[in-house]
Amino acid sequence: MKNTTEIQDRIFDDIRRFELYDAAQSYGQQYLDEVFDRPVYPSEAALDGLCVFDEELSEDATSGEQIIDQLHQYGAPATLTQVGGRYFGFVNGSILPASLAAKILTAYWDQNGAMQVLSPISARLEMTVEKWLVDLFGLPDNTAAGFVSGSSMASFCGLAAARYRIYKNQGWDVNEHGLRNAPPIRIFTGKDAHSTIRKAISLLGFGQSNVEWVDVDDQGRIQVDQVPALDDRTILILQAGNVNSGSFDNFGALCKKAKDAGAWIHIDGAFGLWAAAVPNLKWLVNGLEHGTSWAVDAHKTLNAPYDSGIILCADREALVSALHMSGGYIVKGDDRDGMFYTPEMSRRARIFELWAALKYLGKKGIAQMISTMCLRAHQLTEKLSLVEGFEIPNQVVFNQVLVKAESDLKTDQVLKAIQEERVCWVGGSTWKGERVIRVSICSWATTYDDIVKTAASFEKAIKSVGVNV
């Protein structure tokens, strides 16, 4: 009797047919070879070509070669070239060569990062990277790290740990008793807090209407004198890098005020926390180390591949207890089981790309790469300040540049003209009640020449729109 099925035979034949993987590698290398010279946004023809994917699932099998060919022919042209030097639409980093190579290699391994017994190499690298990040950011030695999908999930984890600790200190076990009849927790954050903070607050059952929103200044920074009295039943949420202006809260004053009161301090540093790793930018985050939890992305400023978020927490017990998991079949490792530091159990072992990015750059390389992004932001600011009709409403302190024209209508028309030209890609936003163009410089690949081309695109756009709109 035959001991394999037809589909097993097919997969056994294909799994060792390396021509398929060679084709994928070849297409990928071709993409990288062309991407820096391509229009930043897909052409209309490329977008129209996506209709090829509007198909019914076939009854019969499709060869791997056909699948890869279809992705290359119709998928690649419809991608956004965010790995290049002129994608500024969102705070999306590029990709580092060593991280890309690590991602390709470890994709073959297909490791599950839940437990040490499932992937000893993943567990060991998580331990290593945790130490590296604590040192890099200057955080307390006992700080724990969890490796999640992004800063949305990282803030969720940090606030879950805060909820657990505050309730535990009051004799309430939220894991056992839930939120019904639980004592109140007060949450304070700035009125310009990122949407991911609002999302985490909702998911954790705190309720948007229970948040006490603190007034901010013209750059989106919390006004220290507007923060009410805090106590050990409160959470103060601060920001390292406003998503529009790039501004940083006054951590020195705010963290001292909160720490003296026994409050939990969560810092949303999705892209801005990396300023702590740059000697000439550390002043932006003075006092950061006095926080209790920190959320940060590696796929933004560090330019690691998607998806790579990190929760850092000085209260290791609270983080583990808030995200705990148990079961009779669980095999607890001698060193580290990643699932105790994240909401997920089974998850892709994404630590390989992050480890590779940090090791590839080293401390000096990280500092130089990030400081160059900030330099490019200042260079663009300088050039646009010389173009008649543009105003820069934010103080450029990190990698964010806001640009506006004389009216909301004109700003949006200029934005549309820039996007349609496809020399660069920028996004729109609303800042202090006015429409702005938001430029996020977050790629290692952005050169001075890219800044020159981008500024020229802005100037061409505002001239094409006209003076009186």
pLDDT tens for 129-148 read 999 999 999 999 999 999 99
Q: Which residues contact 290 (CB under 8 A, 6 or more apart)?
A: 251, 255, 256, 259, 265
Cβ of 325: how many Cβ atoms within 10 Å?
A: 15
Q: Which residues contact 440 (CB under 8 A, 6 or more apart)?
A: 88, 89, 90, 91, 92, 271, 399, 400, 427
Per-residue CA distances from 167 to 211, 241, 343, 353 (Å): 17, 30, 19, 36
Name the strands in the sheet holding 427-431, side by side, starting at the edge strand that comes first in the sequence: 400-403, 434-440, 427-431
Per-residue CA distances from 30 to 89, 164, 392, 410 (Å): 24, 50, 38, 39
pLDDT tens for 346-366 read 999 999 999 999 999 999 999
3-class state of residue 213 by DSSP: strand
- List the one residue out of 458, 364, 447, 334 whose CA is nearest residue 403: 458
What was the pLDDT predicted at 58?
Answer: 93
**Element containing residue 147 per DSSP (H, E):** strand 144-148
3-class state of residue 407 by DSSP: coil
pTM across the whole model: 0.95
Compute the distance between CA of residue 406 and CA of residue 395 in angstroms, rounded to an integer.
19
Compute the distance between CA of residue 294 and CA of residue 289 in angstroms, rounded to an integer.
9
Which residue's entry shows tokens 């103060």? Answer: 236
DSSP bridge partners of 213: 189
Name the strands in the sheet holding 309-313, side by side, starting at the edge strand that comes first in the sequence: 144-148, 309-313, 293-297, 264-268, 234-239, 186-190, 211-214
DSSP-derived secondary structure letter, 72: I
Query: What does each of the 469 residues of the chain score in pLDDT, given as a tens digit?
Result: 678 989 889 999 999 989 999 999 999 999 999 999 999 999 999 999 999 999 999 999 999 999 999 999 999 999 999 999 999 999 999 999 999 999 999 999 999 999 999 999 999 999 999 999 999 999 999 999 999 999 999 999 999 999 999 999 999 999 999 999 999 999 999 999 999 999 999 999 999 999 999 999 999 999 999 999 999 999 999 999 999 999 999 999 999 999 999 999 999 999 999 999 999 999 999 999 999 999 999 999 999 999 999 999 999 999 999 998 777 677 788 889 999 999 999 999 999 999 999 999 999 999 999 999 999 999 999 999 999 999 999 999 999 999 999 999 999 999 999 999 999 999 999 999 999 999 999 999 999 999 999 999 999 999 999 754 4
| Sequence-ordered alpha helix ranges (H) in 36-150 | 44-48, 64-70, 97-109, 120-137
Do 139 and 294 meet the contact criterion of CB atoms below 8 Å apart?
yes
Per-residue CA distances from 54 to 57, 71, 204, 352 (Å): 10, 13, 37, 34
